[in-house]
Amino acid sequence: MKFARNVALVLAVAASSCVGAFSTSRINNAMKASSNAATMLRETNGGLDTDDILPSFSTKEEYVSYLKKAGSLPDGFALGTAKGTFVSVEAPAMGPLPIKATVIHLTEGPTDSWAAVFTSNRFPGCPVKVGKDRLAKGHPLQALVINNKVSNVCPGGDGIAAAESVCSAVAEGLNLPGGANTVLPSSTGVIGWRLPAKELAEDVVPKAIEAIQADSAFAAAEAIMTTDRYPKLRSKTLSNGVRVVGVAKGAGMIEPNMATMLGYIMTDATIEKRKLQAMLSAACNSSFNSMSIDGDESTSDTVVAIASGLKPLSSEDELRAALFDVCEGLASDIVRNGEGTGHVMRVKISNFPGSEYDARRMGRHLVNSPLVKCAISGNDPNTGRIAGAIGSFMGKFFPKESVDEMSLTLGGRTIFNNGKFVLEGQEVEEELSNHMADAQLGEHDDFPQHQRFVEIGVDFGGEGSDVTVLGSDLTKEYVEVNADYRS
């Protein structure tokens, strides 16, 4: 098994795939206008925000420099990271293993304005249990602590006590007046191992607190990684200067409801707790709960939004749009960074004869098909596999709905219409294969060279729901990573 991943996110890899589904009808005209205003500001604020579509990068250094510049923290936040080692009680023969901790601190005091979405896996990690309890009881927060390598899920010892001891170390190190109850823990990594709480509390967390800085969120994006090949960070500046900055990790065990993924969104906006929770829940449904890498739902997935409340908010619609943009950007980055991912599929579903929820289910079914994944991996335009996966889903779950008007496109070219394939010889075959090859990524790349997709369109005709789902292909690298995960 793997680390913690499950925020209402669906990364399905049926051996190496990623999927993300986003509603295309969620933002009203007012929100779009606010987003346009924020875009104009970004163009004049020296590039302090990430672009909606990230640019192409030729080196890892270019990518890192871009994220560091765009990761400027909102007012009232500081964070530190540190490394340490531990020896697993469950596998001592593996010797000393690396572990990292990240501490995020609200420097101006605790806040009641925080929201969270947790995995729906019935075997949640102990930090998830602690977090749900904090949320239910309405505790304010002043710090978050995140460790990688060990997910603290169903361990042999007292995992909740272990998580609380790390929170206590953070509260003591930062002199938090509210104590451990104002610290939210998260863990990601190997499932079933005991959390090395002593090493974290006595060594790694104190070093992370010593390293706290208020400049950039990039260090956190890097420290929370596990099998991720590169860090993920997205940011937005609202028209009145309010900042929204998010970081996330996740590369496998990704399938809603959330996956082995962690996400943290920080803002200096002033916003009521209930409104922030509603915004975050909706944003997660349209992003993290709409993608799949391998179809395995994590036990530790957590997405948190936290507001320092140091700046007035001029438009709730603008903040909502920024949250959606940051979450959808991070979800796209997670799929592109999927374990062994060589291609990212973007499936745009139109006029589905059912709800958006069911349309996303169909999209995930398509991107999670091992046959479709393998064809995409090999740049093989085996279009029958796409139609077959759709037909399988509709036959099982919507047998009474007509598919007579359904049309399919690949790379913008119609390949199926009115119940028949539209394939016209070698020239079309090569065009479709070239489209896949143009979207290919390096399976070992430590930065995203481009943002291209294998574009698949599914239109059922008539009227219905519109969504977009992201998924990854299946490669030999995915198998190798997960065959040797714990080491």
Residues assigned a catalytic role: 260
What tokens were used for 270?
A: 């002033």
- Under 8 Å between Cβ of 467 and 22: yes
**Number of CB atoms found within 10 A of residue 402's CB:** 12
Nearest residue to 474 (alpha-carbon basis) of 5, 63, 16: 16
- Under 8 Å between Cβ of 143 and 176: yes
Distances (CA, A) of 483 to 95, 294, 477, 480, 486: 19, 14, 10, 5, 9
* Partners of residue 117 on adjacent β-strands: 303
Helix (H) or strand (E) holding 266: strand 262-269
What tokens were used for 387?
A: 């139609």
What tokens were used for 64?
A: 């890192």
Distances (CA, A) of 175 to 130, 169, 207, 430: 21, 10, 15, 64
For residue 47, the SS3 value is coil
CA 317 to chain centre: 22
